[in-house]
Amino acid sequence: MEVRRTVPVKLDVSDSDANLLSETIDEFLWAANYVVGVASNGDWVETRASKLQSLTYDDVRDATRLHSNHVQSARNQAVKALKSVIATWKRGEKASLPTFTSRFCEYNHRNVTFYDDYATLSTVEGRVTVNYVLPDETRHTPHAEYLHSDEWEKTGATLHHRNGSFYLHIRTKADVDTPDLPENGTVLGVDLGVKNIAVTSTGTFWTANEFNHWRREYEKRRGSLQQCGTRWAHENVQSVGQSETGRFEQYLHRVANELVTEAIDYGCSYIAFENLTHIRENIPEATWQHVWAFRRLYGYVEYKAAKHGITTTQVNPRNTSRRCSSCGFTHEDNLGNDTMCCQKCGYRNHRDYNAAKNIGLKLLRNQTGAEGGAPVGVRLNSGMLNANGLTSVPGLGRAGVHAESPRL
C-alpha cells in the first residue's frame, strides 16, 4: 500500500540566496494570480489545465524569470484553487476567486535535488544550496523516520517563507506492508464536539477541556498584546500564534494516535467521521479554532490509519444526534443538554456517544448491498451493532471511559 508523508524542515540560507528565494516566491505568486485572472476573464471560469497552459505559458515566461517547471506548478496551483471555488459555488455558497498571498513556491523532482543534509533549489537566477536545520538524528522524529530512510522516496517539496525564515516541506512516499484485514470489516464511528473533541462508538471519550482551556488563554494573551498596538506587541502576537499552533498540533497528534489504536484494538477496518464541510452549521457553538482542530484531527487520523490498512471516511451528519441508535426514532425532543433520551423506546445515553454510533451506522447503511468491502457492523464497547439494530457480543470488549448502558 502506498503511503505518503510530508516532513517540514527549517533551512539555513545565506543572505544572498535568501534574496533569490524570496524573488522566486514573488514571481511564482504573480504567475499563479495571473493564471487566475486569465481563467476568470468574463462570465466563464476556465479550469482546464491544457487550455490555461496554452493561454498563459508564453506570457508568464516572458514576464518572469521562472523555471519552466515553476510556471507549470503555478498554473496547477491556480487550477486547483479555481476548482475548489467552483465546487463551493455549486453547493450554493458564496466564495471569491482565489488570490495567492501566502508566501510559498512548489518544487518537483526537476527543480529540486535532495541530499542527506541539504538540497539544491532552482531560483530565478540559477540554483542555490540550502542546508537543513535538523534535530538530533538519534531521536524518533519524522526526519529520522522518513527523510533519512532509504525506504521513503522524496517526490517533491513546497518552499515556505514565514517570519523571516525559510522552510522546505518535503513530500515522501513508500510502499508499506499493511496487516491483512477481512473483506468485510467493522466500523468505528467518531463524533466531534466542543465539550468532547472526539467520542467513539466504542464509548471512549476524549475531553476538550485541555484544548478549550488553552484556546481561552491564548485568546487573552492576543487580546492583551493587541491593545498595546506597538511593533513589539505585534511580533509577540505572531509568536503566541506559533506557540498555540504547536501546542494544539501536539495534542491532536496524541488524540489521533489513540483513535487509531482504538480502531486497531477493536479490529475495525473503517473509521467514520461526520462530514466536515458544514461543520459550523452542525455545531453552532464551535469557534474557528474548533473547526481547524476537527479538520486537522481528521487529517492526522486519515494518514496514521492508512499505515495500518484502515480506511478513514466521512458521512452526512444529518440527524445523528437526534436519532436513537437503538430503535431509529428521530426527533428533536430526544436531545437533552448532554443526554439523548429516546421518546419512543426510552433508550438513554450520552448524546455524543449516541451520535458516534449513528455515524458508524450511516456508513454501514451507505455501503450495505454494494459489491465487496461492505462493513458488517459498528463496533461497540460491549459488542457490535448492525444495520438492523441487532447486537452480537464478540470476545473483544474493552470498556471505554463511558460505558454503554445494558439496554441496547
pTM for this model (two decimals):
0.63
Of the chain, the percentage scoring pLDDT greater than 70 comes to 79
What backbone torsions phi and psi does residue 83 show, to the nearest 5 degrees?
Answer: -65, -35
Q: What is the mean pLDDT of the chain?
A: 81
pLDDT-based confidence at residue 386 (cuts at 50, 70, 90)? low
Query: 245 pLDDT exceeds 80?
Result: no
User: Could you name the CATH architecture of 187-391?
Assistant: 2-Layer Sandwich (3.30)
Using a 10 angstrom Cβ sphere, with 0-12 exposed, 13-18 middle and 19 or more buried, the burial of residue 41 is exposed
pLDDT of 271 reads 92
The pLDDT score that the predictor gives to residue 392 is 44
Kindly indicate the confidence band of residue 81, based on its pLDDT and cuts at 50, 70 and 90: very high
Assign 230 a pLDDT band (cuts: 50, 70, 90). Answer: low
Least confident span in 76-85, 99-108, 198-207, 394-403: 394-403
Comparing 247 with 6, the larger pLDDT belongs to 6
Q: Are the CB atoms for 327 and 340 separated by under 8 Å?
A: no
Give, for 247, the enclosing helix (H) or strand (E). helix 231-265
| Residues in contact with 361: Cβ distance below 8 Å, sequence separation at least 6, in sequence order | 189, 325, 378, 385, 387
Q: CA–CA separation, 128 vs 121, rounded Å?
A: 5
Residue 370 has a pLDDT of 43
Q: What is the mean pLDDT of residues 212-241?
A: 62
DSSP for 118-162, please give it.
EEEEEEBTEEEEEEEE---TTS--HIIIIIT-TTSEEEEEEEEEE
Which tops the pLDDT comparison, 192 or 4?
Answer: 192
Instruction: Sort 18 into a burial class: Cβ within 10 Å, 0-12 / 13-18 / 19+.
Output: middle
pLDDT above 80 for 100: yes
Q: Where are the domains of the chain?
A: 2-175, 187-391
List the one residue out of 217, 200, 340, 218 whose CA is nearest residue 268.
200
280-331 tens-digit pLDDT: 677 777 787 888 888 989 999 998 888 888 889 888 888 888 888 888 888 8
pLDDT of residue 372: 43
pLDDT-derived band of residue 54, with 50, 70 and 90 as boundaries? Answer: very high
* CA–CA gap between residue 12 and residue 323 (Å, rounded): 55
pLDDT of res. 338 = 80
- Residue 80 vs residue 4, higher pLDDT: 80
pLDDT at 231: 57
96-132 burial: b if 16+ Cβ within 10 Å, else e? eebebeebbbbbeeebbebeeeebebbbbeebbebeb
Q: What is the pLDDT of residue 184?
A: 52
Q: What is the rounded average pLDDT of the residues 8-37?
A: 95
Mean per-residue pLDDT, 48-57: 94
Of the candidates 117, 137, 130, which has an alpha carbon nearest to the alpha carbon of residue 160?
130
d(CA 3, CA 173): 6
- pLDDT tens per residue, range 155-172: 999 999 988 899 999 999
Residue 84 reports pLDDT greater than 70: yes
For residue 225, what pLDDT band results from cuts at 50, 70 and 90?
low
3-state SS string for 182-230: CCCCEEEEEECCCCEEEEECCCCEEECHHHHHHHHHHHHHHHHHHHHCC
- Distance (Å, rounded) from C-alpha 36 to C-alpha 169? 25
For 4, 22, 124, the CA distances from 35, given in Å and listed in that order, are 29, 20, 19
- What cell was used for 315? 458521512
User: Is pLDDT above 60 for 262?
Assistant: yes
* Cα distance between residue 243 and residue 237, in whole Å: 10
- The residues, ordered by sequence, that sit 6+ positions from 212 with a Cβ below 8 Å of its Cβ are 194
Closest CA to 377 of 202, 241, 249: 202
- Give the mean pLDDT of 50-72: 95
Residues 136-152 pLDDT 10s:
765 667 777 778 888 88
pLDDT at res. 385: 59
Contact (Cβ atoms closer than 8 angstroms) between residue 309 and residue 302: no
Q: Are 380 and 390 spatial neighbours (Cβ–Cβ below 8 Å)?
A: no
Q: What is the pLDDT of residue 137?
A: 62
Instruction: Note the pLDDT of residue 48.
Output: 92
Whole-angstrom distance, CA of residue 66 vs CA of residue 246: 34
